[in-house]
Amino acid sequence: MQFTPERVRRPLVSYKNNKTTNKTVLKNNLVPGSIVILLAGRYAGSRAVFLKQLESGLILVTGPHKVNGVPLRRVNQRYVIGTQTKIDVSKVDLSNVSEEWFKHSETVLPALAETQKTLDATLLAEIKKVETMTSYMKAKFSLKKGDRPHDMIF
């Protein structure tokens, strides 16, 4: 170790620009159009369609509302099981959906309702293409006696 006789002035290190963006990583089995099972909250047990991941990291899902009553909603992906079942959502337009809508703003409600309707119509058309998909989306997931979630393939 070198001994320096004078104090050398060095600029203070600034950590101001060291911001790390901790982007939430989407679970690898979640693809737009995946059917997910909601595990908690008001719609626990319902199946919903995964639409996209929002800015905050939460995911956007919808029932569709017409099918099982689940509205356009934000959900934490850890409170959801992603199933292997998928529907085609390429025709769905999510360009005007923003995170702000879900922050309980009264002025946004009409826009939300409008988008819900058009989105539902598109999704319903896709769901009807697949046999028994409508009744599948309507049915709720529940564990029964003898069920072992650790052995299940969702």
Partner 1 sequence: MATPRLFVKGTVLGYKRTRTIQRPSSTLLQLEGVNVKEDTGFYLGKRVCYVYKVGRESRCIWGRITRAHGNSGVVRARFQHNLPPQSFGATVRVHLFPSSI
Q: Is 23 in the site for partner 1 (CB under 8 A)?
A: no
Q: Is 57 in the site for partner 1 (CB under 8 A)?
A: no
C-alpha 129/C-alpha 44 separation (Å) is 26
Answer for the pair 62, 51: CB distance below 8 angstroms, yes or no: yes
Interface map 105-134 toward partner 1 (x if CB under 8 A): ------------------------------
3-state secondary structure 40-55: CCCCCCCEEEEEEECC
Q: Which two tokens stand for residue 125?
A: 């058309």
Interface with partner 1 in residues 58-87 (CB under 8 A): 78-82
Residue 28 or 90 having the CB closest to partner 1? 28
Answer for the pair 18, 47: CB distance below 8 angstroms, yes or no: no
* 39-47, 98-106, 113-121, 125-133 -> range binding partner 1 (CB under 8 A): 39-47
Please tell me what DSSP assigns to residue 107.
G
What are the beta bridge partners of residue 73?
61
In the complex, the smallest distance separating the C-beta of residue 81 from partner 1, rounded to whole angstroms, is 5
Residues of the shown chain interacting with partner 1 in the complex, contacts defined by CB under 8 A: 27, 29, 39-40, 44-45, 78-82, 140-144, 146-151, 154
